[in-house]
Amino acid sequence: MLQLFYKKTDIRYGKINYGKLEYLRYNINSILYILRSYYSSSRGYVRRPNMLVSLIENLDIDINLPAEEVYATISSDSIYLASNFNIVNGVRADDEFNSDTIIYNSKEVFMYTNDNFNFLSRDCLGKASVKCIESNVSDIFLTHPKRFKDSVYETDLYLYTINIDMLGMQYYYWTKEQLSMEMDTDPARFVYEVVLVNVIESIFTSNIVNRIINLADDIYVKPFVNYNPFTIKDLHKKIDSMYLWYLKHLKKKRDLNYVEVLSNIPLLTEGTLYEHLIMTELYLNRRTKWFYILSRLNIVNFLLKNFFSKKEKDYHNDIMMDFSYMTRNKYLVTNNEVINSILEKKEDELKQNLFLRS
């Protein structure tokens, strides 16, 4: 099933273009810039206990050592630390929730990654060491995660990847800067002003993906709510109109490849839905595969329900064989009953959609 989201090179598809896309992108990116500027210097702190704060406090970071030595220590310990903080990884089965780490009153699952980055440069401070790759929420998320007040623990689930090596090096460079300005180096402020500010864009994008799915299924989506202490433009009607336009025009076309569909739906920051969904580095084994499957089940169901394609018959067969194999070998069974229930429900929906397309 995941092979749809492996990067395919040298593919060219015809594009449909919405006239107001660049207007929306300009406004959204301007708002994101304002949010980053404001909250990165807001002197905010996350409440303890917080998993990210505790994780940083357990990293062996000596700012008096060269960056190479600090990175070597962090990278040798990070995957073992992940297991101590219920972060899904290939070494030990961890599938418990880490609630309230990013957004209060929400269920969170974190997956360990160690994607390459330039650990010798402080520029890593501007990168996202934590990324949201899936949510089941469709709010237009344009605020600091700790200011968002509409989460419902019973229903709201977010899936994140976390690069602990990058997180540690970010704290290393940030601490040096703060000390040079005679400011405190509390990890709770670092998490608030750096880590959570950098994750805003990926939460926004993941929610927009879910909003597109809900619009396609005619499910109610909430108007924009501004949780910031300053005014920002409400674009939700224009955003919804744009995505309804894309859905309408794509549904008119017959027998599109799924990659072609995803490549024709733009994101509001840059790029396309397909580029957002691409998985570059995967850790697929019995302990991790369920996480990636869960992160892509909604979009596969969206494609099956809305875009009939004879060209994708082989992919449909691959999904059925893949699920048969995973069910037989219990790849989609975790120690978390809530996750098991979600996976089972999504799998049933997938089987129904495949049956309708067979």
Question: Phi and psi at residue 163, in whole multiples of 5°?
Answer: -100, 95
What integer pLDDT is reported at residue 90 of this predicted model?
Answer: 79
Share of the chain above pLDDT 70, in %: 97
| Residues 163/82, Cβ–Cβ less than 8 Å | no
CA–CA dist 249, 237 (Å, integer) = 18
pLDDT band at 356 (very low <50, low <70, confident <90, very high): low
301, pLDDT greater than 70: yes
Q: Which range (118-122, 231-235, 271-275, 304-308) has the least confidence?
A: 304-308
Three-state secondary-structure class, residue 192 = helix
- Reading the block at residue 230, the tokens are 């300053």
Q: What is the mean pLDDT of residues 181-188?
A: 97
Q: Measure the CA–CA gap between 135 and 53, rounded to whole angstroms.
A: 23
pLDDT of res. 351: 87
Q: Which residue has the higher pLDDT, 89 or 184?
A: 184
Kindly state the helix (H) or strand (E) to which residue 47 belongs, with its residue range. Answer: none
